[in-house]
Amino acid sequence: MEAEFSWAPSRQAFLRRIAISTTLTFAGLAALGLLVSLWFDAGILWVFPTAAILTIGFAVEDYQGWRNARLDRWSLSEGRLLHEGPEGMGMISLTDIRRVRVRFGTRVILFLADGTRVAMRYLPHPRETAAQIAALLPDSPPPAPSAT
């Protein structure tokens, strides 16, 4: 049984995501801390260390997610999407997939007929992956051309 397509998480996609999310998290927390300091007429020495500690906590949580997802392998064969991961193997029939969307830059979300959502995380080319899956769905319109 030869797979038509296969995908695996990318370390570069994870590093890009964590760089963006930690930068935005630190900037948001620092801005919020500065606003609180100005509102309460308090010092600002606590703002940046606190923002850094909280940001590191979020980065560690992202790293734990990467440790779980890095072993995932997805393949498409004979009308089924196969998932191999640390928890075992699973299959999703293409007839059960209703929609395919790209979220947060590196994640493809599969919307199933029963309302379940399945995430394919840290993919290096999520738009192409979503287009490949969507093109094989029964009764699906062709994917819209990307604006690049």
For 87-113, how does the pLDDT look when each residue is reduced to its tens digit (9 = 90+)?
A: 889 999 999 999 999 998 889 999 999
CA distance 129 to 8: 11
What's the pTM value of the predicted model, to 2 decimals?
0.76
pLDDT digit string (tens) for 65-91?
899 899 999 998 888 999 998 888 999
Ramachandran category for residue 69: left, alpha or beta (phi over 0 → left; psi -120 to 50 → alpha): alpha
Answer yes or no: are the C-beta atoms of 14 and 122 closer than 8 Å: yes
Q: Measured between alpha carbons, how far is residue 94 from residues 8, 84, 118 in Å? A: 19, 17, 13
CA distance 57 to 21: 12
